[in-house]
A and B are shown apart, each in its own frame.
Chain A
Amino acid sequence: MKYVIMFTTTPDLEAEVSPQHAEQVYGRTYEWFGTHREVMTESGAQLQPVDTATTVSYGGGGPVVADGPFSEAKEAIGGFQVIDVPDLDAAIAVVKTWPLLELPGVSVEIRPIVVY
């Protein structure tokens, strides 16, 4: 089954982590992608910070363009990756080892992909 895993951070909380600690943890994410190479598909991307986001929304007279992310949430999506694993337990096992999970405010959302 294919799942999208969405990496989210809470920028406010991330600011509290020391640069050395953050650098050390981020360094291990490359290793993580290598370790789980088998389940990684071609699809995935790391995103520029949320202050680069532009949102286009419904407006009565046509789409409206605005600066900023679509939601006011404190969390922001930092990237996503499509993985191909047998079931949700396998997806959870992969995600549990995501190095950033030792930083406050970090979570990873797992969503199955619609199969037509």
Chain B
Amino acid sequence: MDESDAAAAESGRADAAASDQLLAEVIREESARIVGALTRWLGSLDLAEESVAAAIEEAVREWRTRGVPTNPGGWLTRAARNNAIDRLRREKRYHEKLALLPEPEEAAPHTGADEPDERLPLLFGCCHPAISPDAQLALTLRAICGLTTAQIARATLTADSTVAQRIVRAKRKIGTAGIPLRIPERSERAARLDIVLTVVSVMYSEAHLVAGGDAAADRDLADDALWLTRVVAHELPREAEAQGLLALLLFHRAREGARAVDGELVLLADQDRARWDRRLIAEAQTVLEEAAMLRRPGRWQLHAAIAACHSDTRDGGDTDWLQVLTLYNMLLAHDRSPVVRLNRAVALAEVNGPRAALEEVDALGHALTGYHLWHAVRARMLRHLGRRDEALAEDVFALELTANDAERRLLQARVDR
């Protein structure tokens, strides 16, 4: 560590919680760029990613106590490159390769604006359809967002060994099967982008699914997801769906402060609108309007438009349910998944009454019987129809299927009532 680093370390010292957040921000800003550059240099994503991951582990240990150096990207690049060379030296079969390596370009701090972003080609590679969805998420979190294996395991409620195995398998497959790291051509772009956006949206939802809800994870996946969506939307400004997902996540993020109050979950209808982040809502509206001007409608924009309807309400009672239902009807043309149909049923109940909605909910039973919210929605319909005993039974089912503590308390309160 040189003197300027030491000085930065001095000023960078902060309390542990802020430091975790700062580390997350610094690392995800650098991680994918370095993985991209190192992959090009080494000709192997597997080796590049391994070396960057090890550098990140070192950085987290060192920076947590000593603070972040002035040029964290340079620090990580040097550490990752040294790791890679060590690995190559250790393994005999790489010796030949080591001799052939070109001189590395000096790690220049990236200036932003006009340099091509290496993160997107890497992201499209991580989210390739030839990789399983679980592995797409794990590899994206690691190679793009710079999470350690342990952080991914905690954030997604998966065993460390499972996460490690998924990442290793996926990386090797990218190398061995010849999965290219590039932004797909126009003809393939929409379908491939949808996979990327799906991975990011799952990342955002995972943040809210962690069991024990109030257990403090050291990385907030919702932050990572929002950050990553901004990167994608910024790099692909003509892709309306990328803008749509950004708008959607911003609308959701804006409600975060009202959704969880003192560790308790508050339903949308009951949320204190004063706690909504107006700045984020305004940004979401602007992003969604700009997306609409591209005249390429799609499911993420429709999801965002529905979120926008809810954001317009002054209290739980003035929701424009007809508008919400109309948007859900349009959404069905793009996405007929059972969860979308379940959410549509909630709007349908508000417009056409609980009887029509219950019929729709029942039709989804075979697909969603293991999903706690299907039981919770069904309970609500039954209660509105005066079928109290059946409603109670459904609430008990919902409670049994929920792993998240805050959700459990909310459902428990309903059962106790």
Contact = CB atoms under 8 A, between A and B. Distances in A.
Q: A and B: partners?
A: yes
Nearest to A112: B177
Interface in A83-109: 86-89, 91-92
Contacts of A1: 178
Decide if the interface of chain B is mainly helix, strand, loop or mixed: loop
B177 A88 contact: yes
Contacts, number: 23
Contacts of B128: 88
A91 B180 CA distance: 11
Chain A interface category by residue count: 10 to 19
Contacts of A88: 128, 130, 177-180
A100 to B, nearest CB: 20
B176 A87 contact: no
B184 interface: yes
Contacts of B176: 112
Contacts of B178: 1, 3, 86-88, 91, 112
B191 to A, nearest CB: 11
B177 A89 contact: no
Interface in A1-17: 1, 3
Interface string A64-96: 000000000000000000000011110110000
Contacts of B188: 89
A1 B179 CA distance: 11
Contacts of A91: 178
A86 B179 CA distance: 10
23 contacts: A1-B178, A3-B178, A86-B178, A86-B180, A87-B178, A87-B179, A87-B180, A88-B128, A88-B130, A88-B177, A88-B178, A88-B179, A88-B180, A89-B179, A89-B180, A89-B184, A89-B188, A91-B178, A92-B130, A110-B177, A112-B176, A112-B177, A112-B178
Sort A-B residue pairs by CB-CB distance and give the 8 closest, nearest first: A87-B180, A87-B178, A1-B178, A88-B178, A88-B179, A112-B177, A88-B177, A89-B180
Given A89-B179, A112-B176, 14 more contacts: A1-B178, A87-B178, A87-B179, A87-B180, A88-B128, A88-B130, A88-B177, A88-B178, A88-B180, A89-B180, A89-B184, A91-B178, A92-B130, A112-B177
Interface of A: 1, 3, 86-89, 91-92, 110, 112
